[in-house]
Amino acid sequence: MIKKRILNPGRVRQVAGGFSYIPHRFLTGGFLASLEQKEILLYLFLILVSDRYGLSYYSYDMICSLIQLTLDEYIEARDGLLKKDLICFDGKIFQVLDLPAAPSCATSPPYEDPAVVARMIRQSLQEAGHGTRKRNMRRKLPHSQTDDRQRGCERFFQGA
């Protein structure tokens, strides 16, 4: 276990004035992993500007200006946070909600699963290999060269 020590005693953080916090479960419970980049940015902004009840009333144009989002990106991020039950919004006031029991979209999309990606690549190579054989036959390449290329590709992706 790492023994922690304060690195700069003159700059230790203290709670003064407003207070924002992110529960550790946001990371360990899969909530962070379930969010898109723009959703994370908006969520962190709303946490920073909210009061002790999670309420804030920044306008969309001010939010977009401060965190450098386009209007479309803002709407997409806001709607994503609403669907994932992390915030409420009544058209004027935001409320950052207590985290739900589990993230609504904690699982990675199938295209991010390395096994699925490897399978998709293999399928593409097999399909391309059939097309390559046909093209090579038209160009009068020896069949063995096509087989060698296919075997090389298959060996490369066997470790995936």
Give domain status of residue 102, yes or no.
no
What is d(CA 155, CA 148) in angstroms, rounded to the nearest whole number? 11
84, 138: one domain = no
Q: Which residues pair with 56 in a beta bridge?
A: 94
The whole-number pLDDT of residue 118 equals 66
Give domain status of residue 146, yes or no.
yes
The whole-number pLDDT of residue 78 equals 96
67, 92: one domain = yes
70, 119: one domain = no
Give domain status of residue 2, yes or no.
no
Give domain status of residue 1, yes or no.
no
Give domain status of residue 80, yes or no.
yes
pLDDT, greater one: 118 or 23: 23
Give domain status of residue 11, yes or no.
no
Give domain status of residue 72, yes or no.
yes
Q: Tell me the mean pLDDT in the region 114-137.
A: 66
78, 116: one domain = no
92, 115: one domain = no
Phi then psi dihedrals of residue 94, to 5 deg: -95, 145
The whole-number pLDDT of residue 105 equals 59
135, 91: one domain = no
Q: Tell me the mean pLDDT in the region 4-16.
A: 80
The whole-number pLDDT of residue 130 equals 63
Q: What percent of the chain has pLDDT over 70?
A: 70
Q: What is the extent of the structural domain holding 71?
A: 19-96
Phi then psi dihedrals of residue 25, to 5 deg: -65, -20
Residue recorded with tokens 């979209």: 105
Give domain status of residue 137, yes or no.
yes
* CATH number for position 61: 1.10.10.10
The two counts, helices (H) then strands (E), for the chain are: 6, 3
Residue 136 carries which side chain, given as an amino acid letter? N
pLDDT tens per residue across span 45-93: 999 999 888 999 999 999 999 999 999 999 999 999 999 999 999 989 9
What is d(CA 139, CA 142) in angstroms, rounded to the nearest whole number? 9
90, 119: one domain = no
